[in-house]
Copies of this chain bind each other. A is one copy, B any other.
Amino acid sequence: MDERTRSWWGWGWTQEALADDACAGLAAGLPGCATDPVPVPAVPALPAPRVAPPAALADRFTADPAARAAHTYGKAFRDVVRALAGDLSAAPDLVAFPRSDDDVAAVLDWAGGAGVAVVPYGGGSSVVGGTEHRGDGPAVSLDLTRLGRVLEVDATSRAARVQGGTLGPGLEDQLRPHGLTMRHFPQSFEFSTVGGWLATRSGGHYAMGGTHVDDFVESLRVVTPAGVSESWRLPGSGAGPSPDRLFLGSEGALGVITEAWLRVQHRPEHRASAAVRFVRFDDGLAAVREIAQSGVTLANCRLLDHGEAHFSGAAEGGHAVLVLGAESARAPVDVAGPVAIARAHGGVVEERGDAVGTWRSAFLRMPYLRDGLTRCGAIVETFETACTWDAADALVEAVRSEVGAAVREVCGVDGIVNCRVTHVYPDGPAPYFTVLAGGRPGMQLGAWDEIKTAAMEVLTRHRATVTHHHAVGRDHRPGYDRQRPDLFAASLRAVKGVLDPRGVLNPGVLV
């Protein structure tokens, strides 16, 4: 029996949040940071719902303040800051928990008639404002987690029909008896759903090959205000533009992904890993490029710069670290080839300790530390991108320099801009940045918004994507609008007009 409860204001489990003294201890290491953690507030009073659920669906809705509070924001830094400040002005009027596709359709239908916005909500782990209503009218948060079952397993084709509200652990628990696994492990794995992964094109476990969840999709079932769209299960097809690719990344603005046939696989029995340290990050990046172009497919190929390596405990100060991992269900694997490439670029194999395991633990613990620092007033947030190799060195340098300058200007202290590379392609890396700076409660939101604007400016100027796997949501709209072709924007608007003519779904997102 799991006694843990979900935090309404911060990441993950309430019971895993840092104690006050731990928060203060962390913040003390950050120059210029306050060290008195603000208390975690009780759920604030919320205005009465402006809308009542339809009678026929009454038992699918709740107006419970705790539920409404928990469904107000995602889990970005700016979400935590606002929740801690008791600002729940974006709270949905109601939360709906549909138990079937028909329920979803009925909610959408009712909402269209009643002029209510519907914000699809999976695990609530968005870090881009994807699940936060920002309109004046009434809104319902549509929590899909009652649709959490694996409905069918096709062991022959290694595929499973999964409901959209299935959380990561639930998915793996239901696949395990079949000897199967999806192995899609975003950092939010515990607190995000299959439907959320698909709607946001999440990035998972694999550093190469199938990085995004897109590649694991055989077919989708999507409930839209205009009806249900269901594609055929196909391992590959060239029949017109892919129907599934229209809904992958649609972020709840075109429909609600209630089911998908997903490619799964046998559980890995063989693993190999290594950590290689570099004096210079650039040498590590050059090694990663050569590995990515060598034809090998690794499960893990993650390059941490000095700051990231230090922060995660993967290396004692002064080194960048490349974490390599291979796995197979079938035969022994090794990482000898990639290690040889890394060595040729000046890398030294880390013999001491379990850098890989240490990094993984720190990785999963990171959001809780983020919340602890946030309570003390720190600026602590991440963003990620991808670009081609020819542009990578200049991009990373420009981000460090320009975002560093923005931090200094806004916070009045030197901050930290760390970089890791989370996914790699033959034609380019996906760099992921962490920003960390001292601050005080009260100034965090404005400060971060200025820093984020600077970050988006440098990414878009370099024509690097505004997001590699965190989605667009509401926070990335300015960068996204510069990035996407205007005619594609017009096309999406036209599609929205067909699928959601009354504009019920996630208003303000994508179109």
Residues of B contacting A499 with CB < 8 Å? 487, 490-491
Q: For the A-B complex with A154-B389, A242-B245 known, give 9 more contacts whose Cβ atoms are closer than 8 Å.
A: A156-B389, A157-B390, A200-B238, A202-B238, A238-B470, A243-B488, A295-B328, A297-B297, A491-B495
Asked whether, in the complex, the Cβ of B158 is within 8 Å of the Cβ of A293, the reply is: yes
Residues of B contacting A423 with CB < 8 Å? 236
Asked whether, in the complex, the Cβ of B491 is within 8 Å of the Cβ of A487, the reply is: no
A468 to chain B, nearest CB (A): 6
Binds B, one of A32-40, A55-63, A476-484: A476-484
Asked whether, in the complex, the Cβ of A157 is within 8 Å of the Cβ of B388, the reply is: yes
Alpha-carbon gap, A320 to B247, bound state (A): 41
Q: Residue A472 contacts which of B232, B240, B497 (CB distance < 8 angstroms)?
A: B240
Alpha-carbon gap, A288 to B23, bound state (A): 56
Asked whether, in the complex, the Cβ of B263 is within 8 Å of the Cβ of A427, the reply is: yes
Check: A426 CB closer than 8 A to any chain B CB: yes
Copies of this chain: 2
Alpha-carbon gap, A201 to B240, bound state (A): 8
Binds B, one of A82-90, A94-102, A248-256, A304-312: A248-256
Residues of B contacting A488 with CB < 8 Å? 229, 231, 243, 246
Check: A329 CB closer than 8 A to any chain B CB: yes
Q: List 8 A-B contacts (CB under 8 A).
A: A157-B390, A212-B238, A238-B469, A241-B249, A241-B492, A491-B495, A491-B498, A495-B495
Asked whether, in the complex, the Cβ of B483 is within 8 Å of the Cβ of A232, the reply is: yes
Q: Residue A240 contacts which of B227, B239, B464, B484 (CB distance < 8 angstroms)?
A: B484
Asked whether, in the complex, the Cβ of B236 is within 8 Å of the Cβ of A430, the reply is: yes
Residues of B contacting A389 with CB < 8 Å? 154, 156-158
Asked whether, in the complex, the Cβ of A387 is within 8 Å of the Cβ of B235, the reply is: yes
Q: Which residue of B lies closest to A327 (CB)?
A: B295
Check: A141 CB closer than 8 A to any chain B CB: no
Asked whether, in the complex, the Cβ of B229 is within 8 Å of the Cβ of A239, the reply is: no
Interface residues of A in 434-460 (CB under 8 A from B): none
Alpha-carbon gap, A328 to B295, bound state (A): 7
A residues sitting closer than 8 Å to B (CB atoms) are 154, 156-159, 200-203, 211-212, 218, 224, 226-243, 245-251, 263, 265-266, 289, 293-295, 297, 328-331, 337, 386-390, 423, 425-430, 463-472, 476, 480, 483-488, 490-495, 497-499, 510
A392 to chain B, nearest CB (A): 9
| 3 A-B pairs closest in CB distance | A235-B428, A235-B425, A201-B238
Asked whether, in the complex, the Cβ of A157 is within 8 Å of the Cβ of B427, the reply is: yes
Asked whether, in the complex, the Cβ of B429 is within 8 Å of the Cβ of A235, the reply is: yes
Alpha-carbon gap, A476 to B251, bound state (A): 32
Q: Residue A232 contacts which of B157, B463, B468 (CB distance < 8 angstroms)?
A: B463
Alpha-carbon gap, A495 to B295, bound state (A): 38
Q: Which residue of B lies closest to A460 (CB)?
A: B232
Asked whether, in the complex, the Cβ of A240 is within 8 Å of the Cβ of B480, the reply is: yes
Asked whether, in the complex, the Cβ of A239 is within 8 Å of the Cβ of B427, the reply is: no
Residues of B contacting A430 with CB < 8 Å? 235-236
A159 to chain B, nearest CB (A): 5
Alpha-carbon gap, A471 to B238, bound state (A): 6
A238 to chain B, nearest CB (A): 4
Alpha-carbon gap, A510 to B297, bound state (A): 36
Q: Which residue of B lies closest to A337 (CB)?
A: B331
Asked whether, in the complex, the Cβ of B426 is within 8 Å of the Cβ of A229, the reply is: no
Alpha-carbon gap, A428 to B156, bound state (A): 9
Residues of B contacting A428 with CB < 8 Å? 157, 234-236
Residues of B contacting A247 with CB < 8 Å? 241
A225 to chain B, nearest CB (A): 10
Q: A157-B428, A427-B263 are in contact. Are A492 and B202 (CB under 8 A)?
A: no
Residues of B contacting A239 with CB < 8 Å? 249, 465-467, 471-472, 476, 480, 483-484
Asked whether, in the complex, the Cβ of B227 is within 8 Å of the Cβ of A487, the reply is: yes
Q: Residue A497 contacts which of B227, B265, B486, B494 (CB distance < 8 angstroms)?
A: B494
Residues of B contacting A466 with CB < 8 Å? 239
A485 to chain B, nearest CB (A): 4
Asked whether, in the complex, the Cβ of A236 is within 8 Å of the Cβ of B386, the reply is: yes
Alpha-carbon gap, A337 to B337, bound state (A): 19
Asked whether, in the complex, the Cβ of A235 is within 8 Å of the Cβ of B266, the reply is: no
Residues of B contacting A495 with CB < 8 Å? 491, 494-495
Q: A247-B241, A490-B498 are in contact. Are A236 and B468 (CB under 8 A)?
A: yes
Residues of B contacting A467 with CB < 8 Å? 237-239
